[in-house]
Amino acid sequence: MKEALLIIDMLNDFVLTGAPLEVPATRTILPTLKSRLEAARAKGVPVIYICDAHRPDDPEFSRMGWPPHAVKGTPGARVVAELAPLETDPVVEKSSYSGFHHTGLEGILQALGIDRLVLTGVVTNICILYIAYEAVIRGYQVIVPADSVAPLDPADGAFALRQMEQVLGVEVMR
Ligand code: ZN
């Protein structure tokens, strides 16, 4: 099996204090996630960033009621400094909760021969859960380290981890 580490939405607009879509738990997981990132780099495990990059009038802001965040090209849409991608790391931009819909993710995974995905980042019960589902139905083995994903609400996060484990067959590392 060939593994990749996926870092999902660890962007300034989700992580920084006072950010428009601040998820404070992202700062709790940051040190652990940073070590995980460094370990992956040391072992030559590919690191792929999946990042919100919204248009200013994205339906997520009106229809779904989120405050405007991660608008493409703004500082808020950048990966936080602590986890900054290398020049050579793929950065996949998305405009929905999906990592695969209208993105190049699948092509990147196929080109690298990846069949096992470690999902990290934010939000546990939104993008992590939906990307886990998308990956599972495409035949990828999925691992979610509980210490490296962040929920907005702890109960929602716990639900999502159970859902992934019991319904999707994801390996949740606790
Ligand atoms: Zn978004």
Domains belonging to the chain, first-starting first, are 3-173 (3.40.50.850)
Average pLDDT (116-120) is: 98
Phi-psi sector, 133: left (phi>0), alpha (psi -120 to 50), beta: alpha
Rounded distance from Cα 130 to ligand 1 centre (Å): 13
pLDDT, tens only, 159-172: 999 999 999 999 99
When the pLDDT of each residue in the chain is averaged and rounded to a whole number, the result is: 97
Average pLDDT (108-121) is: 98
Rounded distance from Cα 121 to ligand 1 centre (Å): 13
Percent of residues, the chain, with pLDDT higher than 70 = 100
Cα–Cα nearest to 6, from 132, 146, 103, 154: 132
User: Which pLDDT does position 107 carry in this prediction?
Assistant: 98
Rounded distance from Cα 24 to ligand 1 centre (Å): 16
Exposure class string for 133-166: b at 16+ Cβ within 10 A, else e: bbbbeeebbbbbbeebbbbbeeeebeebbebbbe
The whole-model pTM stands at 0.98
DSSP the chain: --EEEEEE--BHHHHSTT-TT--THHHHHHHHHHHHHHHHHHHT--EEEEEE-B-TT-HHHHTS-PPP--BTTSGGGSBPGGGPPPTTS-EEEESSS-SSTTSSHHHHHHHHT--EEEEEEE-IIIIIHHHHHHHHHTT-EEEEEGGGEE-SSHHHHHHHHHHIIIII--EEE-
Rounded distance from Cα 70 to ligand 1 centre (Å): 7
pLDDT, tens only, 145-160: 999 999 999 999 999 9
Percent of residues, the chain, with pLDDT higher than 90 = 98
Average pLDDT (95-120) is: 98
Rounded distance from Cα 150 to ligand 1 centre (Å): 15
Q: Which residues surround ligand 1, an ion (CB under 5 A)?
A: 52, 60
Rounded distance from Cα 112 to ligand 1 centre (Å): 27
Rounded distance from Cα 42 to ligand 1 centre (Å): 31
pLDDT, tens only, 43-64: 999 999 999 999 999 999 988 8
Average pLDDT (121-135) is: 98
Residue pair 128/8 in contact by the 8 Å Cβ criterion: yes
